[in-house]
Amino acid sequence: MSAHRKERRIVVGVGGASGSIYARQLLDILVATTHDIAVIFSAHARRIWQDELGSDPAAVDCPQYDVHNFDVPFASGSNACDACVIIPCSMGMLGRIAHGTAEDLIARTADVCLKERRQLIVVPRETPYSRVHLENMLRLTDAGAVVLPASPSFYGRPASIEAAVDTVVARIVDHLGIPYQPHTGRWGAS
């Protein structure tokens, strides 16, 4: 690791599924850490972010990479990122990753994580799931990814959409090994 590199390089891929708020809240947490954070939006993700959040995804405060640009360090296994989170992950993106198409920078970054045994977390958002979706999730799990659905919990009685979203985001942050205090606390903690 270079002397100038921050602790870990974490790439966030934002797919074209509903649930841009999950990506926004994860990015808000990650950019406040000392980790080296980068984000890639799919074309549909940009449009959905604008529609759902009413803000320009270009304003996200961390380095952004064009989804069609492969001239990026972490597109190669020789300079892989340490972790990649695909959030929200559309079923299209899930299928592309599960089948190794590596046809855009998000799918390629995920593919590199799988082959280099780096951490890959996919956060699928669709309902209901077809057999195809479920089989693709199983393929990814078998290949070493963590499938962490956008399924909020309610036992902490989240009082807002943001607090409900945080119940999912907190689990992702836990998997990344980053200290975090969830909005609704933790089960069994006083």
Closest to ligand FMN by CB, 92 or 149: 92
Does 111 bind ligand FMN (CB under 6 A)? Our answer is no
Residue 171 tokens, joined: 């689990």
Q: How far apart are CA 121 and CA 148, in angstroms?
A: 7
Nearer to ligand FMN, 8 or 108 (CB): 108
Contacting residue, 40, 45, 97, 178, with ligand FMN by CB under 6 A: 45
Residue of 25, 90, 109, 136 that binds ligand FMN (CB under 6 A): 90
Site stretch for ligand FMN (CB under 6 A), options 71-79, 84-92, 138-146, 181-189? 84-92
Both tokens assigned to 9: 């390089």
Between 18 and 153, whose beta carbon lies closer to ligand FMN?
Answer: 18
Dist CA 43 CA 66 (whole Å): 9
**Among 31, 35, 92, 129, which residue interacts with ligand FMN (rule: CB under 6 A)?**
92
Contact 40, 65 (CB under 8 A): yes
Does 57 interact with ligand FMN (rule: CB under 6 A)? Answer: no
Q: Does 15 sit near ligand FMN (CB under 6 A)?
A: yes
Please report where in the chains the tokens 């549909």 appear, as a residue: 44
**For residue 39, what are the CA distances in angstroms to 36, 45, 116, 189?**
10, 12, 20, 33
Smallest gap from Cβ 2 to ligand FMN, in A, equals 31
As beta bridge partners, residue 65 has 40
With binding defined as CB under 6 A, does residue 165 bind ligand FMN?
A: no
CB of 17 to ligand FMN, least distance (A): 3
Three-point CA angle 124, 126, 129, nearest 5°:
100
Distance CA 95, CA 111 (A): 12
C-beta of 62 vs 132, nearer to ligand FMN: 132
Among 9, 125, 171, 183, contact with ligand FMN (rule: CB under 6 A): 125
DSSP result, 52-67: HHSS-GGG-SS-EE-T
**Interaction site with ligand FMN (CB under 6 A):** 15-18, 42, 44-45, 48, 90-93, 125-126
